[in-house]
Chain A
Amino acid sequence: MKYWIGAALVVIAAFAAALSGMNEYFFYAAYIVLTFVVLSTAWNILGGYAGYVNFGTGAFFGLGSYSAVVLFKALEAPLFVQILAGAAIGAALGFGVGIMTLRLRGIFFAIATVAILFIMETFMVNWRYVGGATGLQLLRPEVMAPFDSYTRMLFVVMALLAVVAVSIARYIQVSWIGRGLRAIRDSEEAAECSGVPTLKLKLFACVVSGALMGAAGAPMPMYLSFIEPASSFSLNWGVSALAMPMIGGTGHWIGPVIGALLLGSIQQIVTVTISNEINVLVVGVLLVLFVVLAPDGIVGLFRKWTRRSSR
């Protein structure tokens, strides 16, 4: 119950902020950070809970963006439909990749996600309808009242999506599904012999994860008024979506949120004040440091600290 109150407060706060006189730049940056909350939460459902690492978050995310563009170009579909379509296509991709590779060892799934990423990018580079390698400029429709700007509206949309994503992750975590996924992660063979339908559960996690990533990608073209393959399908999305949950903590739904808020904010600051390269370096170094020194992430450190101080 506490959770739902908190979630409602988050949504109300988002609306209030968007209608306030706050600096426009805040919404530009916050939109990206909220996108990362969705992406890292989605990643964690398969990567943290079940132990199957996805390097190709960009494939699902980019596909969501591109399907939104296609729907917008062909049917002038509203944002809501674009997001649903992004989710559906992300789910389908998750199912496809999953059914092909989730029977195999984890590293094969991981490499397959990289493969999908590059194939998607190559496909979009060669598809003139969506602008090919140079991309496409988009003319946005009138922004919906009561919002003053697209950025503010999309900020609220992404906040809602983040609440939805985290709620789904939380439900999975505490349910019997979550216990099954954890069993798979701890020992897949023992899980199978304990009656857990491992392939079905992994597929489920992969589909849900893909759907959320696709949904997160859908508003992006509207945010940028622009889309192009190289940045949509960059491996950089993958490293962030992986680093944030691993830094925040993979066992609990709050881990990816913490990781995304923290690392996402750091990224925004570094990119603006120093450079994008240093940004990626920071992500990489923090990832390696946490994986080596604090494998349970910030949540794990917090738990250790509270256990020590309660003695």
Chain B
Amino acid sequence: MDAPLLQIKQVSKHFGGFTALSGVSLDIARGERFGLIGPNGSGKTTLINCISGSLRNDAGSIRFENSEISGLAAYQRTRRGIARSFQIPRPFHTMSVLENLLVPSAYVVHLREAEAEAKAMEILSSIGLAGKAGVLASQLSQVELRKLELARAMAARPRLLISDEAMAGLAGAEVDEVLEILFDLNEKGIAIIMIEHIMQAVMRFSQRVVCLDAGRIICEGTPTEIVGNPEVQKAYLGA
């Protein structure tokens, strides 16, 4: 049975008088590569905060692997298989790169120390950070921090990974590096929601794209369909 991995139905979120999300509905299939775009302030981060549990949606339902998760705390959702990276990296800055990964290893996968270290080194090798395993997270460069964000999310063995502007501010080759990491992850069967402003990355990566504007979905389709859509162009360039 191919039920969607993530089902979002009519989700709304208000902050005081301001409506950040209004009646948002979408489905993510198992193993899908999904792009989420929209101008600044359109509600993308609010939406993924509602999915990951950092925020609670005011209305609507969010179902993951066929059970309702809107009432769960963020750590419970991570344990169920939803991981995310942060737009502005939030490393555990007093820990080394390796130790950063040991946190989800201990709290999500419940591995013992030796096994956790081995698995963590595997992940670090696969993304090119193995050499920095013992380095303090506070001493990493921007692109290394972005990779660490993804590595830490990977250590939680998710079935759904939300990548929040992992490439923001990165230069050409660095974008390709991160993109390759995401492709590799997807090959292992992990569904990925990518939020990006770098259009060529979204187009290359996504199988389906959704565009948000002012808290609503204004367009949904393949990358080519989205790019050609006049509504989307208007949203980005302004009325």
Contacts and interface: CB of A to CB of B under 8 A. Distances in A.
- Whether the complex brings A and B within 8 Å at their CB atoms is answered yes
Interface of A: 176, 179-180, 182-183, 185-187, 189-199, 251
B78 A195 contact: yes
Interface stretch (B9-17, B26-34, B89-97, B213-221): B89-97
B50 interface: no
Contacts of A196: 75, 103, 107
A185 B99 CA distance: 14
Given A193-B52, A194-B78, A176 B94 contact: no
A186 B73 contact: no
Kindly list the 10 A-B residue pairs having the minimum CB-CB distance in the complex, ordered from nearest.
A195-B108, A195-B107, A186-B92, A190-B90, A187-B90, A194-B104, A195-B78, A192-B74, A176-B106, A183-B103
Contact of A193 (B78, B94, B95, B99): B78
29 contacts: A176-B107, A179-B99, A179-B103, A179-B106, A180-B106, A180-B107, A183-B92, A186-B91, A186-B93, A186-B95, A187-B91, A190-B86, A190-B91, A191-B92, A192-B73, A192-B74, A193-B53, A193-B78, A194-B78, A194-B108, A194-B156, A195-B79, A195-B104, A195-B107, A195-B108, A196-B75, A196-B103, A197-B73, A197-B76
A179 B107 CA distance: 10
Contacts of A195: 75, 78-79, 103-104, 107-108, 156
Given A192-B73, A196-B75, 13 more contacts: A179-B102, A179-B106, A182-B94, A183-B95, A183-B103, A186-B93, A192-B74, A192-B75, A193-B83, A193-B86, A194-B107, A194-B152, A196-B103
B94 A251 contact: yes
Chain A at the B interface: SS class: helix
- In this complex, the member of A182, A183, A251 whose beta carbon has the largest number of chain B beta carbons within 10 angstroms is A183
B54 interface: yes
Contacts of B84: 193
Contacts of B86: 189-190, 193
Interface string B140-182: 0000000000001001100000000000000000000000000
- In this complex, the member of B53, B74, B84, B152 whose beta carbon has the largest number of chain A beta carbons within 10 angstroms is B74
Contacts, number: 78
Given A176-B106, A192-B74, A193-B52, A182 B95 contact: yes
Contacts of A251: 94
Contacts of B155: 194
A192 B75 CA distance: 5
A182 B84 CA distance: 20
A310 to B, nearest CB: 16
A255 B17 CA distance: 48
Interface in B194-223: none
A148 to B, nearest CB: 47
A192 B82 CA distance: 12
Nearest to A180: B107
A136 to B, nearest CB: 46
A199 B92 CA distance: 18
A181 B107 CA distance: 12
Contacts of A180: 103, 106-107
B75 A193 contact: yes
A188 to B, nearest CB: 9
A20 to B, nearest CB: 43
A196 B53 CA distance: 13
A138 B73 CA distance: 50
B103 to A, nearest CB: 5
- In this complex, the member of A186, A190, A196, A197 whose beta carbon has the largest number of chain B beta carbons within 10 angstroms is A190
A199 B73 CA distance: 10
A66 B80 CA distance: 46
A49 to B, nearest CB: 11
Given A179-B99, A179-B106, A183-B103, A197 B94 contact: no
- In this complex, the member of A190, A195, A199 whose beta carbon has the largest number of chain B beta carbons within 10 angstroms is A195
A194 B79 CA distance: 8
Interface string B34-62: 00000000000000000011100000000
